[in-house]
Amino acid sequence: MKKIVLTGAAGRLGSYLREPLSKMCQEFVSSDIADSVKNLAANETYVKADITDLDAMVALLEGADMVVHFGAIGDEAPMDVLWGPNFYGAYTVWEAAYRNKLRRVVYASSIHAVGMHKKTDFIGIDAPHKPDTFYGLAKCFAEDLASLYWDKRGLESVCMRILSCAQPTNSRAVGTWLSYDDLIHLVERAITTPITGFSVVYGVSNNDRAPVDNAKAHHLGYRPKDNAEQFAAEIYASDGPLDPHDPANTHHGGPFAAVELGNSGLAHLNLGADDTGKD
Ligand SMILES: NC(=O)c1ccc[n+]([C@@H]2O[C@H](COP(=O)([O-])OP(=O)(O)OC[C@H]3O[C@@H](n4cnc5c(N)ncnc54)[C@H](O)[C@@H]3O)[C@@H](O)[C@H]2O)c1
């Protein structure tokens, strides 16, 4: 592949993706609103750009084959905070990809697009949208953009509904964990699968207690290897008994299903120290 562009490159997940992505193309462009990123690969350039600026996105994606779109606010927040980066910022990326005739958008969607489904429902990729927050609503919007641009403009996409890509430190993560290695494998499959059309896939490791079903995403060849069961006993012992009536425990969105709209969900997730940013 000639050129791949990564948005959100200075973020936590973007930092894990830069090196493997740089090996998949001749020219790799990292982009974020941050001033810089460290340790550029030999074929990597960094472009500071705001995803809410359509002209900047059109310039950024010039000559690219694919864009891996991870730039966004990664938590629930008031609508006026999310509207630019998470809603309009998705539009600018799909529109810029279309204008530059890219083949595909690989997108970091989220379980929060379907977070109000109950965990006891083993949901597949065709479960109806049921967002748990404005953040989840933005993921629904972007997935619908992906569907629209495929149907009307022939632009392919893979929407990866990531569950929890962080060190597993809480009971929910025993089901929802996506290891960094499996994330990289998933993104590689989203890029290298010859035909994806409009595809949706859950970004989750091979956990015994994974609460979602990827059977209808089999064509992507995503075969995760890691399993959070190795952490289960220790986590359950330290987390103590869980309230079976709390939506944070009973719904796919976890704490996002329980917070008031506009309030942080991540604040209730007890994320570990490695989650402060790799780069
Ligand atoms: N971490 C997870 O478990 C998880 C789960 C589901 C979905 N996701 C999605 O994955 C993506 C990356 O998540 P992360 O955990 O690395 O989050 P992060 O906050 O570490 O990274 C997001 C990056 O987007 C950049 N960004 C924000 N606004 C921007 C703007 N206006 N223009 C350009 N860049 C902007 C930020 O500077 C940041 O570097 C996000 O889209 C998030 O919604 C993550």
Kindly give the confidence (pLDDT) of every residue in the chain, 279 residues in length, as a single tens digit, with 9 standing for 90 and above: 999 999 999 999 999 999 999 999 999 999 999 999 999 999 999 999 999 999 999 999 999 999 999 999 999 999 999 999 999 999 999 999 999 999 999 999 999 999 999 999 999 999 999 999 999 999 999 999 999 999 999 999 999 999 999 999 999 999 999 999 999 999 999 999 999 999 999 999 999 999 999 999 999 999 999 999 999 999 999 988 899 999 999 999 999 999 999 999 999 887 765 543 333
Q: Which of 7, 70, 88 to mutate to test the pocket of ligand 1 (most atoms within 8 A of CB)?
A: 70
Going from the Cα of 16 to the center of ligand 1, the distance in angstroms, rounded, reads 12
- Residue with CA closest to ligand 1 atom 11: 70
- Helix H segments across 84-243? 89-99, 134-153, 173-176, 180-192, 229-239
Q: Is the whole-model pTM more than 0.95? A: yes
**pLDDT at position 278, please?**
36
* Cα dihedral 163→17→13→115 (10° resolution): -20
**pLDDT at position 240, please?**
82
Instruction: Decide if 98 is catalytic.
Output: no
The architecture of the domain spanning 3-275 is: 3-Layer(aba) Sandwich (3.40)
Which residue, among 171, 75, 159, 165, has the nearest Cα to 119 in the 3D structure?
171
Which residue, among 94, 90, 65, 85, has the nearest Cα to 152 in the 3D structure?
94
**pLDDT at position 273, please?**
53
Measured from the Cβ of residue 273, the count of other Cβ atoms closer than 10 Å reads: 7
Annotated catalytic residue, options 107, 135, 149, 222: 135
- The span from the CA of 160 to the CA of 192, in Å, is 14
For ligand 1, whether the C-beta of 8 sits within 6 Å is yes
- The span from the CA of 159 to the CA of 136, in Å, is 13
Report the atom number in ligand 1 closest to the C-alpha of 10. 39
- Residue with CA closest to ligand 1 atom 10: 108
Going from the Cα of 11 to the center of ligand 1, the distance in angstroms, rounded, reads 6
- Residue type at 14 in one-letter notation: G
- Beta-strand ranges (E) seen in the chain are 3-7, 27-32, 44-48, 66-69, 104-110, 123-124, 156-162, 198-203, 212-213
For ligand 1, whether the C-beta of 97 sits within 6 Å is no
Going from the Cα of 272 to the center of ligand 1, the distance in angstroms, rounded, reads 17
Going from the Cα of 32 to the center of ligand 1, the distance in angstroms, rounded, reads 9
- The span from the CA of 131 to the CA of 124, in Å, is 15
Going from the Cα of 8 to the center of ligand 1, the distance in angstroms, rounded, reads 6
For ligand 1, whether the C-beta of 70 sits within 6 Å is yes
Give yes or no for a contact between 190 and 158, defined as CB atoms under 8 angstroms apart.
yes
